Amino acid sequence: MLKRRVESGPRFHRETWLAAALNVLAEEGQAKLRIDKLAADLGVTKGSFYHHFRSRDDFVQKLLDFWSRSYTDRVIKEVGALQVSARERVLEMMRLIVRERLDRYDIAFRSWAAQEPSVAEMVRKVDARRHLFCRSLFAEMGFEGAELEFRTHAFLAYQVGKGVIYVPEALRDPDERLRWAEGFFANPYLPGDACISADAGADAAV
């Protein structure tokens, strides 16, 4: 919980309020996103809040935009600009997310979305942008059809859920987990392929 004194002058920017709100949302839930609490945590008056936000609804919309811009649009822009193969871009995207913990607010926003339609709408938009970008990378790697859709969906689900699911001791090293994940999602071979081939061979032998 933030308890430090923060300047209320020109250098006290809107982003300071938004960053503090993200931390409260992740640690205490959306019910604690109260103006008086945030002001007290930051050591400023509520007047500072209304200097940057017209109302709580305006604050919520700007918080959603800040989350989308800082934790999704930024990744798409930086990874998309890399002059490397699609597989290397997927790996660098995973590295960036892990290195800077860019997924740490996802669960909190999804929980909030279940209670507030405006939040749910933004989460859907964020998911759509993430899906479109990741799908383009896997398509560039040569995947198509149902396999392309499954890999994209599985990759996105992994990125959102990996921080809240128990991880066995053998896979707790971040670098090792990253190598396994990259190999799993980028490998052109899927176990299902072997099953399909085996079934086709069995049918041909009959």
Amino acid at 89: R
Angle between helices 145-161 and 86-99 (to 10 degrees): 20
Averaged pLDDT of the chain: 83
Average pLDDT over residues 118-124: 95
Q: Is the pLDDT of residue 2 over 70?
A: no
Q: What is the mean pLDDT of residues 193-200?
A: 44
The share of the chain scoring above pLDDT 90, in percent, equals 59
More confident residue, 191 or 62: 62
> What is the structure's pLDDT at 90?
93
More confident residue, 60 or 172: 60
Out of 11-15, 27-31, 155-159, pick the least confident.
11-15
Query: Of 1 and 47, which is predicted with more confidence?
Result: 47
Pick the CATH number of 1-53 from 3.40.50, 2.60.40, 1.10.10, 1.10.390: 1.10.10
Residue boundaries of the structural domains of the chain: 1-53, 60-190
Was domain 60-190 assigned CATH 1.10.357?
Answer: yes
1-53 and 60-190 agree in CATH topology: no
**What distance in Å separates the CA atoms of residue 44 and residue 113, rounded to the nearest whole number?**
29
| CB-based burial, 28-64: b 16+ in 10 Å, e otherwise | eebeebebeebbebbebeeebbeebbeeeeebbbbbb
Place of tokens 């209670």: 115
